[in-house]
Amino acid sequence: MTRQEIAVTGVGLITAAGDTTEECWDAISNGRSGIRINTLFDTSQLRTEWAGMVRAPLRQDLDRCYALAERAIREAFAGADFDPARSDRRVAVVVGSSLGAMPTLEAEHRRFVETSGFDHTAVANSQLHCVADWIAGEFGISGPRIVTSNACAASAVAVGYAAELLWNDEVDVVLCGGVDPLASLSAHGFTCLGALDPQPCSPMAASTGISLGEGAGFMILERTGEAADRGARVIAEVAGYGLTLDGYHQTAPDPTGEGAARSITEALRTAGLHADDIDYVNLHGTGTPTNDVVEPKAIRAVFGKAAPPASTTKSMIGHTLGAAGAVEAVCCILAIATDLQPPTVNTRGLESATGLDIVPDVGRSAQTDVVLSNSFAFGGNNASLVITRAGQARDESVAARRVGARAVITGMSAIAGTATSTEETVTAVASGTPLFGIERIGSGESGPCDPTQESDGKSMLFGKANIRGLSKGINPAKLRRMDPLSVLAAAATNELLKTFGKLTRAEAEETGVIFATGYGPTTAVSDFHRGIVEHGAAGANALVFPNTVVNAAAGHLAMLNRFRGYTATISTGGTSAIAALHLANRVIERGAARRILVVLADEFPEMAARTVAGFPGYRGVEEAGSGDGMVLSEGCAAFLVESEESATARGVRPVAELEGFGAAGDTGGVGRIDPDGARWGAAMSTALRQAGIEATDIDLVVPSAVGSALLDRAERSALSATGLAEATQHRFKNTTGETFGSASAIGLVSALSASEGPSRVLVSAQAYGGSYAAAVARRLS
Phi and psi at 341, nearest 5°, equal: -95, 120
Task: Say if CB 704 and CB 717 are below 8 A apart.
Answer: no
Task: Give the pairing type, strands 370-377 and 280-282.
Answer: parallel
Bridge partners (DSSP) of residue 376 are: 382
Q: From residue 33, how far is each of 16, 68, 201, 524 by CA, in Å? A: 8, 19, 10, 34
Which residues are marked as active site?
152, 284, 319
For residue 328, the surrounding DSSP H or E stretch is helix 324-338
d(CA 384, CA 372): 7
Task: Say if CB 52 and CB 213 are below 8 A apart.
Answer: yes
Phi and psi at 410, nearest 5°, equal: -115, 5
What is the Rg, in whole angstroms, of the alpha carbon atoms belonging to the chain? 24
CA angle, 756 then 762 then 766, to 5°? 130
Task: Say if CB 11 and CB 217 are below 8 A apart.
Answer: yes
d(CA 542, CA 43): 18
In the sheet that 459-463 helps form, which strands lie side by side, from edge to edge?
445-448, 437-442, 459-463, 632-633
d(CA 762, CA 767): 17
Task: Say if CB 740 and CB 730 are below 8 A apart.
Answer: no
- What's the N-to-C CA distance of the chain in angstroms? 30
Closest alpha carbon to 567 in 621, 645, 507, 511: 511
Report helix angle 324-338 to 21-29, nearest 10: 70
d(CA 741, CA 727): 24
Q: From residue 352, how far is each of 359, 404, 694 by CA, in Å? A: 10, 46, 63
Determine the residue type at 450.
D
Closest alpha carbon to 164 in 80, 65, 64, 92: 92
d(CA 636, CA 488): 6
